[in-house]
Structure formats: C-alpha cells, structure tokens
A and B are shown apart, each in its own frame.
Chain A
C-alpha cells in the first residue's frame, strides 16, 4: 500500500537539489504532485542538456 521509502527520499532529494525548496514544502507535496514535479524537472533538464549538445555541435 505504501510508497517505497527509498524512492520517496530519492524524489525529495532530486527536487531539493534542483529546485532548492525547503524540505517541509517537499514533504507536504501529495504523491502524484511530487511525481509530476520530478517528471517536469527531468524534462526541463533533458531540454537544457539537449540545447547544450546542439550548441556544441
């Protein structure tokens, strides 16, 4: 029933690293909101890295 604890901490650490939000705010995100945020940050990161690679070529 519960969300895997390790995955929880990984997602929180990932968002904290990229967004610099306080831990309390991240802990209070509902599960699906947190997952959505992680996906959004992943997508933004991918786009940023793609831009870097395009610029380098």
Chain B
C-alpha cells in the first residue's frame, strides 16, 4: 500500500455509483487506488477489495489510517496487535490466562472481546492458499 494523496480521496467522489461522502463504497474505491500489491494478484480492482473478508478489510482500513495519519507509535501498535492475533492458522504466541481457570474457558469465549476476533479470523484460513 502506498501513501495516499488528495486525489485518491477526491476522485472516488466522482464515481457515479457513489451516492455521497458517507457512502461506504468510497472506502473500497480509495483502498483500490492505494493498494499496489495484495498477495500475488496482478491486478487489484474494487471487485477484489469488495471480496475481502470483513476483518481483512478492517485491517486494511486501520493500516491506511495509521500510515497516512498516524505516528510511529500507532503503526507499531497496529503491527504488534496484528502479530499477536491468531491469524490464518498461526499459533497464538500470547500468554493466556485461560489455563489457570479452565472452568470459565468455554463459557467465556463469547464474552472475551480480544479472543472473539481471532476465533472469527480462523474462518478465513483459505485466504493465504488462494493468494499463493
């Protein structure tokens, strides 16, 4: 992903499919412009970005915000947060407190905000295979 320019944010507003500045499609179009490489895809169109899983799109949005408007601290926080989640079949390296309290391990799964997202991300394990 390259750094964004004013043009990257203004040109999509002229897209006839965009209904206004709050149209969520704007995000798709902006990301389509600035993402230069995604896996081994040769051509990235809005169709590819629309087809991303929600969590992956959310990460790209966060990444866009951090590299364009954030500082080094926010970038490091985003990268470390991404590394610490159990993504795409990678084992979780975070120390967990669950083993010390096995009774609540099962019932607490849905309530724990941090763990809810990684467990959702496990469902997108096909993504790297498709990208490779």
Contacts and interface: CB of A to CB of B under 8 A. Distances in A.
Interface in A20-57: 26-32, 34
- Interface SS majority for chain B: helix
B10 A32 contact: no
Contact of B5 (A1, A2, A5, A30): A30
Contacts of B27: 1-2
B5 A28 contact: yes
Contacts, number: 47
Contacts of B26: 2
Contacts of A28: 5-7
B61 A27 contact: no
B68 A5 contact: no
A27 B3 contact: no
Given A31-B69, A32-B68, A5 B3 contact: no
B6 A29 contact: yes
A5 B10 CA distance: 7
B51 to A, nearest CB: 19
Interface of B: 3-7, 9-10, 13, 21, 26-27, 30, 61, 64-65, 68-69
Interface of A: 1-3, 5, 8, 11-12, 26-32, 34
25 contacts: A1-B30, A1-B64, A1-B65, A2-B9, A2-B26, A3-B4, A3-B6, A3-B69, A5-B10, A5-B21, A8-B6, A11-B6, A12-B6, A27-B5, A27-B7, A28-B6, A29-B5, A30-B3, A30-B5, A31-B4, A31-B68, A31-B69, A32-B3, A32-B68, A34-B6
